[in-house]
Amino acid sequence: MLTLKSFERASELVKKVTSPTKLVPSEYLSAQTGAKIYLKPENMQYTGSYKVRGAYYKISQLSDEERKKGLITASAGNHAQGVAYAAQKYGCKAVIVMPMVTPLIKVNRTKSYGAEVILHGDVYDDACSYAYELAKEKGYTFVHPFDDLAVATGQGSIAMEIVKELPTVDYIIVPIGGGGLSTGVATLAKMLNPSIKVIGVEPANAASMSAAFEEGEPVTLGSADTIADGTAVKRIGEKIFPYAKKNIDKIITVEDDDLIAAFLDMVENHKMIVENSGLLSVAALKQLNLKDKKVVCVLSGGNMDVITMSSIVQHGLIKRDRIFSVSVLLSDKPGELVKVASIIAEVQGNVIKLDHNQFVSTNRNAAVELRITMESFGTEHKEQILKALEDAGYRPRLIGAKLY
């Protein structure tokens, strides 16, 4: 049972392994929505996410014998670090099975807490099946990342902190993967104040909770293909589902492109690194009418490797027309390249990369191709640059932008 007493106990206990994540008012998001938006920055936890809450509370509830057997779990990364860190605190052995596609930063951080890491499968569900096999074979105690009421109780401590800091909160928006976080937060929020609305957010291509709500029971998706790797779960938990169904007021889905935009917003306006799964709550804001409401968006994690960040930033800048590429045809004679560069400079375009191809035509006197990748201030400025090129007699053709 998820009880108020257990939530209170967990809220005190997890203070031993968590950092205070005070609410951060967001002027930018508040202006965008007409609401008063606050961020709950669980990405700033020592392990990089909220997951240490549920892991530590769960392990605290195990017997000495269960802990001595050694712990095993499956995780896309954040729960792995939570279990590894909590196990280290209790002096337990920890074995973590992670999908092959898990970002390197999550793998290395998990190992840094003394855990043994095994990479297996393409998504969380594959890793979980293998972890169960190992638990049976080796006698390890399995610590489920979300389908465990003790784990959900630990995650629910977030709601306790939110309500204590902002008693008049109207909405709490929470990412959903397997459902442990959303279930814990929603259940405790309703116990503390039934008028609080809790909205769960899933990636559109991994909407396992939405499917469960529609069918009235957990179902297994055919795939979970999303850049939000921490919430790429094909099937939500059986044990937590009744609580989720009762206490989550609404579930919405977010496309991957919206997560890319949210990442740029968070970096530029809040100077925060938040992983794609953690941004689900922020990306959902554009779909909701929250005018004049007090809203808390839970940023569930910040464990993102640098290569992924680079890719997200590039795609985000291209999507917002801050970077674009054009192709123009020039006569193959001295000075033509300078003319084009001067036109772009006059309208404050900034050239990033040039590719001059003399062999686009067999008649080099007629035309050579110049491909230009450049920065702009946004869509309006991009159109201004294109018009300047057209007015000068060139016919700029937009092409796919690539920085490298």
In a domain, 310, yes or no: yes
239 is catalytic: no
Q: From the CB of residue 292, how many other CB atoms can be counted at a distance below 10 Å?
A: 9
Structural domain includes residue 86: yes
Pair 158, 114 in one domain: no
Residue 173 in any domain: the answer is yes
The CATH number of residue 381's host domain is 3.30.70.260
Residues 178, 297, single domain; the answer is: yes
Query: Per-residue pLDDT tens for 284-322?
Result: 999 999 999 999 999 999 988 888 888 899 889 998 899
pLDDT in tens, 223-261: 889 999 889 889 999 999 999 999 999 999 999 999 999
Q: Are residues 165 and 154 in the same domain?
A: yes
Q: What is the pLDDT of residue 359?
A: 66
- 377 phi, psi to nearest 5 deg: -85, -5
Domain match, 76 and 158 both:
no
Residue 124: what pLDDT?
80
Distance CA 343, CA 155 (A): 56
Which percentage of the chain shows pLDDT scores above 90? 79
**Which of the following is catalytic: 11, 210, 300, 325?**
300
Answer yes or no: is pLDDT of 343 > 80.
yes
Domain end call among 90, 123, 142: 142
Q: Which residues contact 194 (CB under 8 A, 6 or more apart)?
A: none
Q: Mean pLDDT across the stretch 341-369?
A: 81
Among 142, 175, 197, the domain-final residue is: 142
Q: In what order do the strands lie in the sheet with 71-74?
A: 116-119, 94-98, 71-74, 141-142
Question: Is residue 267, in this structure, part of any structural domain at all?
Answer: yes
Residue 355's pLDDT is what? 87
Name the active-site residue from 36, 40, 51, 234: 51
Shared domain for 251 and 363, answered yes or no, is: no
Torsion angle, alpha carbons of 147, 150, 155, 156, to 10? 110
Residue type, 75: S
Residue 17 lies in a domain: yes
Considering the domain architecture, whether residues 207 and 284 belong to the same structural domain is answered as yes
Q: Is 230 helix (H, G, I), strand (E, B) or coil?
A: helix
pTM score, two decimals?
0.88
Q: Does some domain include residue 372?
A: yes
pLDDT attached to residue 230: 86
Looking at the fold, whether 133 and 154 belong to one and the same domain comes out as no
Last residue of a domain, one of 124, 142, 160: 142
Output the domain CATH number for residue 229. 3.40.50.1100
404 within domain boundaries: no
Q: What is the dihedral of CA 324, 325, 330, 336, to 10 degrees?
A: 60
Query: Token digits for 143?
Result: 């610590």
Q: 286: alpha, beta or left, given left = phi > 0 and alpha = psi -120 to 50?
A: alpha
Task: Tell me the residue range of the domain where 286 lies.
Answer: 4-50+149-316
Residues in CB range of 277: below 8 A, 6 or more apart: 175, 177, 203, 228, 229, 230, 231, 300, 301
220-254 residues labelled b (16+ CB within 10 A) or e (exposed): ebeebebbbbbbbbbbbbebbbebbeebbeebbbb
Q: How far apart are CA 256 and CA 332, in angstroms?
A: 43
Token pair of 283 as six digits = 């990306």
- Lowest-confidence segment of 22-31, 123-132, 278-287, 292-301 by average pLDDT: 123-132
| Same domain (yes/no): 354, 372 | yes
- Residue 273 above 70 pLDDT? yes
Q: Say if residue 404's pLDDT is above 60.
A: no
H or E stretch covering 368: strand 368-375
> Are residue 327 and residue 192 in the same domain, yes or no?
no
What radius of gyration, in Å, describes the C-alpha atoms of the chain?
A: 25
Compute the distance between CA of residue 343 and CA of residue 324 in angstroms, rounded to an integer: 16
Active site residue 300: yes
Q: What's the mean pLDDT when you consider all of the chain?
A: 93
Structure-model confidence comparison of residues 100 and 280, the more confident one: 280
Phi, psi of 359 (to 5 degrees): -110, 20
pLDDT value at position 163? 98
Give how far Cα 39 sits from Cα of 30, 270, 295, Å.
11, 10, 8
Helix (H, G, I), strand (E, B) or coil at 160: helix
Q: Are residues 87 and 157 in the same domain?
A: no
Give the C-alpha separation, 113 to 107, whole Å: 10
Same domain for 312 and 343, yes or no, is no
Q: Same domain for 172 and 247?
A: yes
Domains held by the chain: number: 3
pLDDT tens for each residue of 356-385: 777 666 565 657 888 999 999 999 999 999
